[in-house]
Amino acid sequence: MSARNPESAAFQRGVPGPKAATAAAQEALVSSASVEIRSDWVELPGGSRVHYLNSGSGEPLILLHGSGNSSADWVPLMEQQIGRRYFAVDRPGYGLSEAFDFEPGRIRPASVDFIAALLDAMDIEAADFISSSGGSVMALWMALDRPERVKSLALMGATPLLPGTRVPLPLRLMTSFVGPLLSRAMPDPSPQSVVKMMGVMGEEESIVRYPSLIDVYVASGSDLTAAEASGRELAALIRGFRGFRPELSFRNEDLQQVLQPTILVWGDHDPVGGLDSARLVDRLLPHSELYVLPAGHVPWWGDPEQVARLLGGFYARL
């Protein structure tokens, strides 16, 4: 099926100058997709605007990307149609979405309130969630704090703050006292630096399959709003060299209270969490199924067809 290019205005409408390069790169990525992927916006109470990509038809799937990333990460999966409608959201500050403020120490209620307001604005009472990394943290918070609004969870890759997970060394450094020095010493974003960064997350071989996605990362690397959103989020979750903040970490008893059907798709060399962590989480979640793929932290990049088959089977069993 050939792609139908979305109108440029759908990407550029209301995009501030610093995000113009990201908008152009996202548009190029979506235009090259094998299915139609549309760009749209929703306005939340208070006037902040959230951008999302959507594709397919059927019951809604809310896709939440990880820290430092954007909705563009999901395009390889969105090309796999599974009889559902994908809504890949640019979380606040990332991609083309506007930023939002939260008080230090209140990232959990702020995140839950954001997702609830998003569902309200999209006229969705409850949805199935697909999420990755920091987005999975927020999906789990939503499942625990607003369970009536979460039908199921699909956690892609190791979720930070779960039992047995860890912070990769580069992120420990970036959130420590040496972080500002490292930021100033880093080279300008380039395709080579993106591939190197993704190599740290176990995805050096998979990211090179998507040159247009690399271009989105290069463009967003110059977006100060996205950089600030990522820095604040990581600082809220990580205590530098000491790792994840224990007061936010999921306890065994927390996971035992997640009653929604859950599918775990875990990479066998995910640097955030090994297979011991995956098996422990699978045992603790009351209604869980675990699948391990030859992947790092972003398992759908290496084999989007296989992940789509797993998701399709999971939703058929609900």
In tens digits, the chain (318 residues) has pLDDT values of: 233 333 444 555 556 577 999 999 999 999 999 999 999 999 999 888 999 999 999 999 999 999 989 999 999 999 999 999 999 999 999 999 998 877 778 999 999 999 999 999 999 999 999 999 999 999 999 999 999 999 999 999 999 999 999 988 777 767 766 666 666 666 788 999 999 989 999 999 999 999 999 999 999 988 988 988 988 888 888 888 888 899 999 999 999 999 999 999 999 999 999 999 999 999 999 999 999 999 999 999 999 999 999 999 999 999
Predicted local distance difference test score (pLDDT) of residue 168? 83
Distance CA 115, CA 56 (A): 21
Is the overall model pTM greater than 0.85, yes or no? yes
What ranges do the domains of the chain cover? 8-317
- C-alpha 255/C-alpha 247 separation (Å) is 15
Contact 85, 55 (CB under 8 A): yes
CB 318 within 8 A of CB 261: yes
Do 164 and 280 meet the contact criterion of CB atoms below 8 Å apart? yes
Q: Which is it for the CA torsion 97, 213, 119, 106, positive or negative?
A: negative
Chain centre distance of CA 45: 23
Name, in order, each residue with C-beta under 8 angstroms of 99's C-beta and a sequence gap of 6 or more.
92, 93, 225, 228, 229
Q: How much is the pLDDT for 29?
A: 97
Q: What is the pLDDT of residue 6?
A: 39
What's the sign of the alpha-carbon dihedral 115, 20, 73, 232? negative
Structure-token pair, residue 314: 């999971």
Q: H/E element holding 317?
A: helix 304-317
Cβ distance 253 to 285 under 8 Å? no
Predicted pLDDT of residue 1:
28
Both tokens of 239, joined, read 């205590």
What's residue 42's pLDDT?
95
Q: What is the largest CA-CA distance in the chain?
A: 50
Q: 116 vs 48, 61, 110, 125, 138, CA distance in Å?
A: 14, 14, 10, 9, 11
Q: What CATH code is assigned to 8-317?
A: 3.40.50.1820
- CA dist 91 and 98 (Å) reads 8
What confidence score (pLDDT) does residue 103 get?
A: 76
Instruction: Report the 10 Å Cβ neighbour count for 123.
Output: 8
Helix or strand holding residue 172 (H, E): helix 169-174
Q: In the block, which residue shows the tokens 């902040």?
A: 48
3-class secondary-structure state, position 159:
coil
Q: How far apart are CA 199 and CA 301, in angstroms?
A: 13
pLDDT of residue 182: 61
Q: What pLDDT sits at residue 188? A: 81
